[in-house]
Amino acid sequence: MTRILRGPVLRFRADPFAEGAEAALGWLDDGAVAIEGGRIAAVGEATEVIATHPGAEVTTSGGHVIAPGFVDCHLHYPQTGIIASWGAQLLDWLNTYTFPEEARFSDPAHAATVARAFFDLTLAHGITTTASYCTIHPASVDAYFSEAQARGLRVVGGRTMMDRNAPDALRDTAQAAYEESRALIALWHGQGRATYAITPRFAPTSTPAQLEAAGALWAEHPDCLMQTHLSENHAEIDWVARLFPEAADYLGVYQRFGLAGPGAVFGHAIHLTARERAALAGTGAGVAHCPTSNHFLGSGECDVAGLKELGIPVGLATDVGGGSSFSMFDTMKAAYEIGQRRGVALSPVHLWWLATEGAARTLRLGAHVGNLEAGREADLILIDPASTPILAARTARATTPSELMFALIVLADDRAVGQVWSAGRPVNPRAPVR
């Protein structure tokens, strides 16, 4: 049967970077979302939606804002246990915390335990779609996709490829990475709501032979995504230049091996040359902006507005565990702060769009999730603007939707996330609608 949720609705009519914040926001004070068969059947003014769906079960949100589920387009579920680890900068952090932790994922039971904890945390924060790196172990991929499938979630993930500059327990070979990734694609890609991403960790941990194998695999499976890291840290960039002296730049390494194009998602992309920016725009590759991680590891500040001006897809990402929070509210706030320091104050509409529709488009999932629109999958969250005393006091004074949205960005946390819906059913029992 049809179910209708009635209340304030946060949705988008356009890309605010292209059309402006006012034109892009499709806020409804008294709106409704009709859900049928796991998809959104209609969105609009409550009276109209209810009138055109006679017999539907109508429930009100109790003042909670009905919004698209957050989409996190770059993170590492195996690093769930090492979030908030003190640590220097990127390369030191990898060696001190990340690699020892990822070695534990050779144990399928450990991988399954962490996957359960990971999805408990992401759903508690209103994140309904994740794009995660796994480890080199096929069991880590199986655990991630299995847990997501059991919960009915749309997710992206892939086996990490590393055949050099990593501990013995985390090194594979070009052939093993190719064969195991191909088997995992056959097992998981397109099953339920799963999308496979071919996943070389980053250029320094793959030999040319492995990058060539990754490019060949992607050419064989162009409907998969490809995810890796790009220009996060100055020391990393210098390292890439020493390892690949023939390349024009960091992005040039990936281009050489067929790892740049539509469906490529590059994490960070902070310190780009003019050539790299133009090449990203030309290839159709996207960027995952990870502001809390960039703060935490002292990596730098991504030029989001500049990338979007060039037409490059950009989405927001927590980058857990280098990122310091599972909260997309914290992530939006950090993106706002970075924009301020760069002289471009992103509006609340821009920030929410990056955390939903922008991230979905970056993952080539814009036809499925990221917005409240008829035909898309019914992934949505109910947000309580009065979940804490300070938030209630501030949102009570908001005179526009944008002002309320910004108060949530700055002051909200997981307590503001009520029900979380995935494919038309509640997957987080908190704060039932009334």
pLDDT score at 159: 98
Checking if the pLDDT of 433 tops 60, the result is no
- Residue at 434 is within a domain: no
The CATH number linked to 277 is: 3.20.20.140
Span 394-431, pLDDT tens digits: 999 999 999 999 999 999 999 999 999 999 999 986 64
Are 152 and 233 in a shared domain?
yes
Looking at the fold, whether 111 and 47 belong to one and the same domain comes out as no
The verdict on 233 and 130 lying in the same domain is: yes
Please tell me whether residues 310 and 402 are part of one structural domain.
Answer: no
Give 432's pLDDT tier (boundaries 50, 70, 90).
very low
Residue 187 lies in a domain: yes
Confidence of residue 85 (pLDDT cuts 50, 70, 90): confident
Identify whether 15 is part of a domain: yes
Residue 322 banded pLDDT, cuts 50, 70, 90: confident
pLDDT averaged over the chain? 95
Is 207 found in the same domain as 132? yes
Q: Give the model's confidence band at 90: pLDDT under 50 very low, under 70 low, under 90 confident, else very high.
A: low
Q: Is residue 306 domain-shared with residue 392, that is, in the same domain?
A: no
Per-residue confidence band for 351, with pLDDT thresholds at 50, 70 and 90:
very high
| Mean pLDDT confidence for 142-168 | 97
3 state SS for the chain:
CCEEEEEEECCECCCHHHHCHHHHECCEEEEEEEEECCEEEEEEEHHHHHHCCCCCEEEECCCCEEEECEEEEEEEHHHHHHCCCCCCCHHHHHHHHHHHHHHHHHCHHHHHHHHHHHHHHHHHCCEEEEEEECCCCHHHHHHHHHHHHHHCCEEEEECEECCCCCCHHHCCCHHHHHHHHHHHHHHHCCCCCEEEEEEECCHHHCCHHHHHHHHHHHHHCCCCEEEEEECCCHHHHHHHHHHCCCCCCHHHHHHHCCCCCCCEEEEECCCCCHHHHHHHHHHCCEEEECHHHHHHCCCCCCCHHHHHHCCCCEEECCCCCCCCCCCHHHHHHHHHHHHHHCCCCCCHHHHHHHHHHHHHHHCCCCCCCCCCCCCCECCEEEECCCCCHHHHHHHHCCCCHHHHHHHHHHHCCHHHEEEEEECCEEEECCCCCC
**Residue finishing a domain among 362, 382, 413:** 362
Q: Which of 341, 362, 383 is the last residue of a domain?
A: 362
Share of the chain above pLDDT 90, in %: 91
Average pLDDT value for residue range 86-92: 72
Residues 156 and 238 in one domain: yes
> What is the reported pLDDT for 296?
87
User: Are 342 and 267 in a shared domain?
Assistant: yes
pLDDT of residue 297: 86
| Residue 309 pLDDT greater than 70, yes or no | yes
**293 and 391 assigned to the same domain:** no
Report the pLDDT averaged over residues 62-91.
90
Instruction: Answer yes or no: do 75 and 64 share one domain.
Output: no
**Global pTM value:** 0.96
Model pLDDT for residues 271-280, shown as the tens digit of each residue: 999 999 999 9
**pLDDT computed for residue 429 by the predictor:** 61
* Range(s) of the domain holding residue 136: 70-362
pLDDT value for 434: 45
Number of structural domains (the chain) is: 2
User: In terms of domains, do 77 and 44 share one?
Assistant: no
